[in-house]
């Protein structure tokens, strides 16, 4: 690693036309500058979109099973390189090594799974209301897709978008987060190695505010798939709406775990720890609210706090570390501002609540795993996505009160309930307003072949993950009627 990285446009590696670059640093040691990346401007974006547009007709005509072969070959390379890539990911993004391995694995799973669509991509044949006439529908690609991915899953989320886009026959301009461009580049290099035709997958670096903005406005971009903040998502939806682009958004979460009196305490503690502090709380699916019934409250909180005290914060390459750094200084201070606001609003800070910047923590962006008690739905801590290792706890009397609290936010991504009572487990499945509900398991850990996404401000109605939901995003339906009667037949019974 090191030196200058480039954009990948039309099968060639190129700097930004302006020659300008930006650095990427290791969040566990900000003195470790990993590399410099092109700050792409309007000409670079135009070149990338143009190259995708030129490659589109040829790629759209390539048989889907052939397109899928590129995904399988890419998956094979990722398997061989899994732990090398994971190490680079820990250095660039901070998550602990075993989680980084999971991120690469999710990309592998996704590529393998979606390659199957190359031989499936089912359409529909259905009876016609008229004799001697066939009615059917098949899927066609959309066109040039702008894929804009976040930094928290630098390999999995790009693959969630690239694999379905490619297998459906679209061409792509991919802009990884400017915080994780190394991993974005390493992924594109894999597709170059398997000889994906030039122009089918283009890579462009730069910030969301500049490069991303140019990309979403480009008139030849027909589809935008974005994962990130609600605020940016709303802006993209507006831009896309005005230009009638297809748009798929995966946005924030404020994911609750409900623990009922009859729950297995140890199991719940394990799940809450993993959901709230795994990936340093930087998942859209992270557990950020804990809603606990009165009877189990004292023992659950006592056990949980004891376990939080033992979490080791540090560089994710150290195998004894549980919680890695926060992505950057901006996020670190944003987390701390939420924590200060929590105290001001009357929540009780039980553990953590501080930036760690002494000794071994001096050079990185580290935050102490934090837990607040006495949090109520009117507080900022309860409502806003913090994207850091901060868990807010609320005490409730009943299942009904727990559901009401769980639903009292503008997000609806993931959720969980710990109970041994089937009655309440099934009611939670139905009554929690979220795209995903886990029973006796944490809010994180979705599998690639099921719908992933949420309700309310978490998204705009699309789901990633499952092939059948992804195909709805990345393809268009074409309906065909074949009338072989040899005469004019009129539908709707018109004589």
Q: Which residues are catalytic?
A: 250, 284
Task: Give residue for tokens 């393809």.
Answer: 475
**Which residue, 293 or 443, has its beta carbon nearer to ligand UN1?**
443
Written in H, E and C, the secondary structure of the chain is: CCCECCEEECCEEECCCCCCEEEEEECCEEEEEEEEEECCCHHHHHHHHHHHHHHHHHHHHCCHHHHHHHHHHHHHHHHHCHHHHHHHHHHHHCCCHHHHHHHHHHHHHHHHHHHHHHHCCCCEEEECCCCCEEEEEEEEECCEEEEECCCCCCCHHHHHHHHHHHHCCCEEEEECCCCCHHHHHHHHHHHHHCCCCCCCEEECCCCHHHHHHHHHHCCCCCEEEEECCHHHHHHHHHHHHHHCCEEEEECCCCEEEEECCCCCHHHHHHHHHHHHHHHHHCCCCCEEEEEEEHHHHHHHHHHHHHHHHHCCECCCCCCCCCECCCCCHHHHHHHHHHHHHHHHCCCEEEECCCEECCHHHCCCCEECCEEEECCCCCCHHHHCCCCCCEEEEEEECCHHHHHHHHCCCCCCCCCEEECCCHHHHHHHHHHCCCCCCEECCCCCCCCCCCCECCCHHHECCCCECCHHHHHHHHEEEEEEEEECCCCCCCCCCCC
Tokens of residue 399, six digits? 């299942």
**Which residue, 153 or 361, has its beta carbon nearer to ligand UN1?**
153
**Which residue, 197 or 445, has its beta carbon nearer to ligand UN1?**
445
Shortest Å, Cβ 228 to ligand UN1 = 9
Shortest Å, Cβ 100 to ligand UN1 = 13
- Exposed/middle/buried for 241, CB within 10 Å: 0-12, 13-18, 19+? exposed
Distance CA 398, CA 174 (A): 47
Task: Give residue for tokens 């499945």.
Answer: 429
Shortest Å, Cβ 94 to ligand UN1 = 14
**Which residue, 214 or 444, has its beta carbon nearer to ligand UN1?**
444
Shortest Å, Cβ 180 to ligand UN1 = 13
**Which residue, 157 or 347, has its beta carbon nearer to ligand UN1?**
157
Residues of this chain that interact with ligand UN1 (CB under 6 A) are 106, 152-153, 227, 283-285, 444-446
Shortest Å, Cβ 414 to ligand UN1 = 7
Shortest Å, Cβ 332 to ligand UN1 = 19
Shortest Å, Cβ 227 to ligand UN1 = 6
**Which residue, 321 or 436, has its beta carbon nearer to ligand UN1?**
436
Shortest Å, Cβ 432 to ligand UN1 = 16
**Which residue, 176 or 199, has its beta carbon nearer to ligand UN1?**
176
**Which residue, 118 or 281, has its beta carbon nearer to ligand UN1?**
281
């Amino acid at each position: 690693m090191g030196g200058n990285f480039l954009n990948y446009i039309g099968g060639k590696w190129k700097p930004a036309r302006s020659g300008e670059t930006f650095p990427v640093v290791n969040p566990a040691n900000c003195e470790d500058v990993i590399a410099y990346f092109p700050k792409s401007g309007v000409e670079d974006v135009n070149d990338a979109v143009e190259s995708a547009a030129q490659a589109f007709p040829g790629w759209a005509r390539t048989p889907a099973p052939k397109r899928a072969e590129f995904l399988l070959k890419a998956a094979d390379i990722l398997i061989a390189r899994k732990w090398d890539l994971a190490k680079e990911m820990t250095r660039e993004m901070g998550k602990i090594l075993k989680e980084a391995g999971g991120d690469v694995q999710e990309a592998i799973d996704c590529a393998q799974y979606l390659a199957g669509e190359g031989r499936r991509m089912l359409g529909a044949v259905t009876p016609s209301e008229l004799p001697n006439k066939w009615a059917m529908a098949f899927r066609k690609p959309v066109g040039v897709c702008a894929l804009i991915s976040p930094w928290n899953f630098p390999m999995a989320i790009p693959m969630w978008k690239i694999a379905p886009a490619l297998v459906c026959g679209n061409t792509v301009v991919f802009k990884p987060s400017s915080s994780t461009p190394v991993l974005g580049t390493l992924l594109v290099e894999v597709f170059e190695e398997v000889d994906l035709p030039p122009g089918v997958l283009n890579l462009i670096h730069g910030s969301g505010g500049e490069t991303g903005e140019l990309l979403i406005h480009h008139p030849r971009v027909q589809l935008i798939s974005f994962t990130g903040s609600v605020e940016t998502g709303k802006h993209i939806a507006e831009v896309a709406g005005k230009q009638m682009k297809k748009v798929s958004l995966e946005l924030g979460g404020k994911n609750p775990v409900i623990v009922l009196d009859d729950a297995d305490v140890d199991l719940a503690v394990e799940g809450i720890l993993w959901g709230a502090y795994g990936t340093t709380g930087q998942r859209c699916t992270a557990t950020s609210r804990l809603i606990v019934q009165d009877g189990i409250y004292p023992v659950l909180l006592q056990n949980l706090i004891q376990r939080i005290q033992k979490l080791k914060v540090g560089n994710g390459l150290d195998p004894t570390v549980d919680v890695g750094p926060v992505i950057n200084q901006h996020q670190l201070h944003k987390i701390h501002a939420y924590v200060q606001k929590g105290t001001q609003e009357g929540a009780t800070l039980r553990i953590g609540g501080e930036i760690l910047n002494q000794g071994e923590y001096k050079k990185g962006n580290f935050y102490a795993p934090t837990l607040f008690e006495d949090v109520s739905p009117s507080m900022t801590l309860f409502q806003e996505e913090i994207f850091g290792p901060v868990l807010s706890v609320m005490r409730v009397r009943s299942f009904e009160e727990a559901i009401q609290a769980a639903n009292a936010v503008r997000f609806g991504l993931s959720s969980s309930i710990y109970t041994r009572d089937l009655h309440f487990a099934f009611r939670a499945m139905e009554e929690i307003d979220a795209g995903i509900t886990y029973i006796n398991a944490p809010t994180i850990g979705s599998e690639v072949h099921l719908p992933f996404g949420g309700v309310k401000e978490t998204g705009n109605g699309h789901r990633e993950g499952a092939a059948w939901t992804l195909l709805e995003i990345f393809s268009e339906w074409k309906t065909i009627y074949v009338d072989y009667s040899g005469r004019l037949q009129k539908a709707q019974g018109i004589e």
